[in-house]
Structure 1
Amino acid sequence: MDWMQLIIRTNKDQADFISEVLMGLDALSITFSDSFDDAIFEPPVGETPLWQDTTISALFNVDVEQTHVQMMLKQTCNIEQSSFELLKNCIWEDECKKYFHKMQFGKNIWIFPSWEDASTLSKEAVIIDMDSGLAFGTGTHQTTDLCLQYLDQNPPKDLTVIDYGTGTGVLAIAAAKLGAKEVIAIDNDPQAVLVTTNNIQTNYVDSKITVLHSDEEGELNQVDLLIANILANPLVGLCEHFSRRIKSGGKIVLSGIFQDQVEVILDTYGHYFSTLSVKQKGDWCCVDGIRK
């Protein structure tokens, strides 16, 4: 089925009201995005911030009366400029294949989507079968990349591991395929728990990995390595919790940290961890250290 998409550029003060009007005009879905592609990370609790210059994309049935919708917007919201464009039907799974390809991390770790052939790689290659999906963490973001680089350089052979904020389970799977004895993958998003469970089965490592929702975490045995690829504010709040989860001499890897947030992480985790070091890719940083 084809759709008509209406694009409106406005400001954050009008965005909510315009969306209500659009819903009254039978819009099927509404999306807010920044007009200048500026992402918002870690908004305050209970707030849903918008950008000063906000673009609204509204989806309508293909036979929508475009003139009527634009006239109503002009009358009720003082919208002078809006444009409709035809959104052709396509197989979205095939569209994803155009942009998600095999990726290498360090010397040996590879992420392969199911539609690409991994048979040409060497015996030493650690292959993770992973398609793009709803949960975060398929290696395309710098934060995941930094964690995979760490695992490639420090294979957790015979170690116990926690992957906290597992997303798709990519780091848990990498740890298992690099020789970890036991891995616990934890996330507070039920969708992530489901995706991770499916991905570890696809990669035949379900005998090594236990997947838990954070509400089910309870009391776990201390581990040799804890990886947390989330964001800086949660990392600060979870510092003591993570410290209790790691054996003395065990290691921690923290990612999802902007460059200007590194000092806060170092100050917070310096009470419990020594030899903290920082690696950076783009605007993002990864911190690792050893439990005192």
Structure 2
Amino acid sequence: MSQNYIAYHFTVAPLQPGSEILIAQLGYAGFESFTETDNGLTAYIQKAAWKEGILDDIQILSSEEFKISYTREEIEQVNWNAEWEKNFEAIEVEGKCVVRAPFHPEFGVDYEIVIEPKMSFGTGHHETTFMMLQFILENEFNDKTVLDMGCGTAVLAILAKMRGADKVDAIDIDPWCYENSLENTMRNGCDSISVMLGDATVIPEKKYDTVIANINRNILLNDLPIYGESMMDGGELYLSGFYSEDLPIITNACNKLGFSFVEKKEKNNWIAAKFVN
């Protein structure tokens, strides 16, 4: 279905975590889809839901920590399905896993994940998601209990389930991601995955063998103690969403909670790291 949309083109500095914070705040204001650019992002809202002053409550715009500017335009008849078919390419990881859209042909690999992205983060295109998929392929998940924090499209939770995980919980603070995760888990025959809307405060009171968190540095640092309390002894913690220069800070925070650094992956200055307690 085509709709008339209002598009805001934002320039954000520093790009991260500025863009992630901006997306979260815009989501609460009613913006329903986003595309990242080299220097910021474009946010879309249906014209019928738009109003004057819609950005007045977007707190990051008045923050002294970030420099953000924007322009606005009306876009007629945006057909998101057509846009995705034009721009979304399948992602292959280690020759074992493919993340593709429904309109792509089957690849015949061990793990084929079909994602209808709908502008949610986590299609495999971003370096952090790609590296986390690599970690899940390389490590043992059979019969484990797994928590996927900041699940986005739930692609990591889905692969963990396909790799033999017993119980998998997936949590995201973005309502759009929550709905998208529900759709994607069902589409891939993983509807036993429990998808929840919220932040770390909604983590169930149980112990996990494995926690996966692909978010950003500040949220990770804030929520690490909660992850630690939610993990079994000998559990594995996989973290991503931060840059190489942030690894010492992340590692130090993990060490204070009893986690030891095991290994890291790096791609275009982004880091994914494995820790054990």
Q: TM-score, normalised by structure 1?
A: 0.72
Change (3 A) 1:201 1:30: closer
Conservation of the 8 A alpha-carbon contact between 1:107 and 1:152: no
**1:179-210 CA-partner distances (Å, limit 9, x unpaired):** 11110111122222111111101111112x11
Change (3 A) 1:165 1:2: closer
**1:120-157 CA-partner distances (Å, limit 9, x unpaired):** 514xx101011221321111111111100100111411
**Runs of 4+ off more than 3 Å:** 43-46, 49-55, 87-92
Conservation of the 8 A alpha-carbon contact between 2:123 and 2:153: yes
For 2:255 and 2:132, locate their aligned partners in 1 and report how far apart those are by CA, in whole Å: 20
Asked if 1:161 is matched to 2:146, the reply is yes
Conservation of the 8 A alpha-carbon contact between 2:14 and 2:67: no
Match of 2:86 among 98, 101, 108: 98
The one-letter amino acid of 2:73's match is A
For 1:2 and 1:256, locate their aligned partners in 2 and report how far apart those are by CA, in whole Å: 33
Q: Which residue of 2 aligns with 1:31?
A: 8
Q: Which residue of 2 aligns with 1:283?
A: 269
- Unmatched 5+ stretches in structure 2: 26-58
For 1:91 and 1:186, locate their aligned partners in 2 and report how far apart those are by CA, in whole Å: 28
Q: Which has the larger radius of gyration?
A: 1
For 1:151 and 1:90, locate their aligned partners in 2 and report how far apart those are by CA, in whole Å: 36
Asked if 1:57 is matched to 2:55, the reply is no
Task: Give the Å deviation of 1:266.
Answer: 0.8
Change (3 A) 1:289 1:202: same
Task: Give the Å deviation of 1:261.
Answer: 1.2
Of 96-105 and 158-167, more deviation after overlay is shown by: 96-105
Q: Which residue of 1 aligns with 2:197?
A: 213
Conservation of the 8 A alpha-carbon contact between 2:117 and 2:153: no
Change (3 A) 1:195 1:42: same
The one-letter amino acid of 1:268's match is A
Q: How much identity, in percent, do the aligned residues show?
A: 26
Q: TM-score, normalised by structure 2?
A: 0.76
Match of 1:47 among 33, 56, 60: 60
Q: Which residue of 1 aligns with 2:47?
A: none
Conservation of the 8 A alpha-carbon contact between 2:239 and 2:274: yes
